[in-house]
Each structure stands twice: as structure tokens, then as C-alpha cells.
Amino acid sequence: MNDTQDRPGPAPAANPQWGGRFAAGPAAVMREINASIGFDRKLWRQDIAGSRAHAAMLARTGIIAAADADAIAGGLDAIAAEIEAGRFAFDEALEDIHMNIEARLALRIGEAGKRLHTARSRNDQVATDFRLWVRDAIDGLTAQVTDVMRAFAARAAEHAADPMPGFTHLQTAQPVTFGHHLLAYVEMLARDRGRLDDCRRRLNESPLGAAALAGTSFPIDRDMTATALGFDRPAANSLDAVSDRDFALEFLAAAAISAMHLSRFAEEVVIWCSAPYRFIRLSDAFTTGSSIMPQKRNPDAAELVRAKTGRITGALVGLLTVMKGLPLAYAKDMQEDKEGVFDAAAAWALALAATAGMVRDLTADTARMRALAGSGFATATDLADWLVRVLHLPFRDAHHVTGRIVALAEAKGVDLAGLSLADMQEVEPRITAAVFAVLSVEASVASRISFGGTAPANVAAAAARWIAALA
């Protein structure tokens, strides 16, 4: 996608190096590697929008006649209708979406169509189209992220007081509530949405009018085209305008981070659905069976969400690698900027939709979660805190005493609440029967009243705030 022209010359001899696919020789290889219409046709709406704005500006500034601009607008409308209806014949020989539309325009309206490319280059044209496409993608994905947040917040409100094991190192740590756990993903997704907002704000500058790299000698009005296309302003430097792909990289970075968040939840779904855990169940809508084991219910939706992360992260690394050694301004390497972005956007959208569906679909086994919430001596920290609060032990001493009591309980094969008062007093004689009030799962979660803590009242209030904010 640049303004180089194919130069006429003798047809090259066939070269067996290219194999049977390219019997015509190197010229066929060049055509194959050079053409982008196979994927950049996705930009047709943005390309037509940019051309409409450019033609109107050319007429307003007197660079082309108003009648020509009207003919261009009508021709572009007709081409849009053809593409929308699937009647447009894309031609690989024309390389890209820009030349395909421009050639079709000239066929439809004649000489006026050839005036459209005045004062612009395919370099600023593709940069504009791609920014518009990414901006549209951001708007759609922001809505999807918000929908997933709503799903998590609604289920969090439902399970604000239901205890489950909280983990560190995937080992039982302290009891939390299932609602609190779900709200953690609302916070992650809120940051994802913020990154999309930031990316959209930074990309919203118009490259149109930067031409090939140096601007143009025509008296164009870049503010007019920027406004017409919904940009905040024209890009300030023509070299940067045509060669910048930070907006695509930032979009992919936001996508990769969000996909990682979705993958973390997907991994938890896989674990929670497994027989040793049995925390949740997904319906037939989000699971599949086995071709040989009739008892199986596989959480394939979660596994595929987890896998999409690799594609999205790969797209980010791929584009970073493409851009890392490019001198200013445009280079044909940048043709490789789009496929990864298109694929990542589609994969992210699908992962978001699947995640929202699973969150709304899952059935939590709250009794099972509650039974395991106190396992692994999960209330040991509550015991240590009681020793500090009531017996005024320094925390490090309380930690040591609690460790000895845990070891005693482990040796007796009981949890902390299963020890007798006499057992505990063997370790610390000043312990009283009041300690048992803090050793239950319910007492543990209820005590975590600090801001952001797992106390059910905290969780219910936080869920309500998010539901209201996302309404």
C-alpha cells in the first residue's frame, strides 16, 4: 500500500524455485506478496468515508469543481451499495482496497473519479482508514467489555455473602465470598475499558492530508476533513502521520492484557468445573462431551477463551517486530500491520462474548464452596489476629503461636475449630473460649471490613455501585 508503480518490462522466465503454485515465475510471486486486497477489503467502509470527506474538502477549497465532487459522492454511494450487497468484484491486480474502489469509481463516473486522488497518497489514505477501523473496533469492544462487567457485577451481587476458599499459590489461604472473587474481574475489566478509552483518545488524529510523507502543495483544509471524519484534530507532523502505528500497537496491547484477564477467569472456570473442586457447573450451552467417555462434560468455551490469548498476544509481538526497525517514513512492511489487528479484534470479541455467556450461565454450588472455605486451616490468620487484638501479642509472636496450633490440629486430624480449648492452651495458656468466635468461615469473612475487603456488606455495596455505574 504505497505509491510505487509497477514498471512495464519483459515477462520474467519461469523459475522452478517458486514451485508449481507460481508457474509464471517471480512476477507471480511479486503479485502474491504485494497484494493486500485479500484482507484489507475490511477497510472499505472507512475508505469510502475518507474519500467522501476528501472530495468534499477538495471542492470547498476550489481544488476540484463542485460538480466533480458531487459525482464522486454519488459514485462512492453506489460502490458502497455494491460492496454491501456482495456484488463488487475485488481484483487482486489492483493490489488493495484503495485502488479497487478508485478504479471502480473511474469506471462509473469517468474523468471526475480520477480527480479524487488529488492532494493525497495511499500512504495517508491507508493510515486514515486504519485509524478509523481501529476506532470503530474500540467502540464495539468497549460495549462488549461493559457487558461482561455487568454480568460479573450481577452475579457478584447474587453471591455477596456466599463463602468460598480464597487462594494464594492455588493453596487455600483465607475464606472470601464468591461475590468478592467475581468483583475482582470487574476491576480488571474496568482497567481494560480505561485502556481502550485512552487508546481511542490518542489515535483520534487525522493523517489525511499528510500525503506521501511531506504534505502537499495544494491549499487543502485538513481541519475540515478531520472534523468530517470525527477526529479531534489533524496529525501535526506529516512524516509521523503516515508512518505511525502506535495506535494499532496500543490497541493490541490493550487487547492482550484484557485477553490475559479473560484467560485467568477461564482457567478458574476449568478448575472450578473439575470433579475435585465442583464449585460451579456450566450448562450444555457452554460445554461439550467426549467422543469416547460418555460421562464427560468439558468446559470447552473456557478452554478456547484461554487459548485465544495466544493469538492476541502473538499479534502484538508480531506488529512490534514489524515496526521495530523501520526508518521514517512509510515502508511496505507496514502492509503487515492489519491482519494481526483484524484477527486479534475478532478473537477478543469472541472471547468477551463467551465469557459473558459463561458468567450468566454458571450455577454455583455454594454448599460445596462453603464446605471447602475453611479447609487447609483457612482461618489461621483470624486466630493470629485474635491473639494480637485480645492478648496483645506482637504479630510475629502471634504468627509463631498460630503456626504451632496449626501443627497440633494437623497432627490430630482436625481443623482449628475442632481443637479443644485445652489443646490450644497447651501452646498459649492465655487463650480463652472467646477465640472460637473467630474461627468459623462466616466470622472470618464478616470480619474483613476494611475498604476493598471481603465482608459481605462490603461486597454487596461494591456490587451495587458497579451495577448502578454500568446501567
d(CA 337, CA 321): 10
Contact 209, 124 (CB under 8 A): yes
Residue of 401, 382, 403, 405 whose CA lies nearest to 393: 401
Q: Using omega within 30 degrees of 0 as the cis cutoff, is the peptide bond preceding 349 cis? A: no
Q: What angle do CA 222, 226, 231 make, to 5 degrees?
A: 150
Kindly state the cell numbers that stand for 379: 482461618
With the CA atoms of 285, 137, 156 and 456 taken in that order, what torsion angle do they form, in degrees rounded to the nearest 10?
A: 160
Helix (H) or strand (E) holding 384: helix 380-391
Kindly state the cell numbers that stand for 153: 457485577
Indicate the DSSP class of residue 12.
P
Q: What angle do CA 327, 333, 338 make, to 5 degrees?
A: 125
Specify the amino acid at residue 28: A
Kindly state the cell numbers that stand for 343: 484477527
d(CA 393, CA 430): 11
Strand partners, 363: 281
Indicate the DSSP class of residue 335.
G
Kindly state the cell numbers that stand for 268: 478458574
Kindly state the cell numbers that stand for 51: 474519500
d(CA 280, CA 425): 40
Strand partners, 234: 206
Helix (H) or strand (E) holding 18: none
Catalytic residues: 169, 290
d(CA 345, CA 340): 8
User: How many Cβ atoms are within 10 Å of 106's Cβ, its own excluded?
Assistant: 17
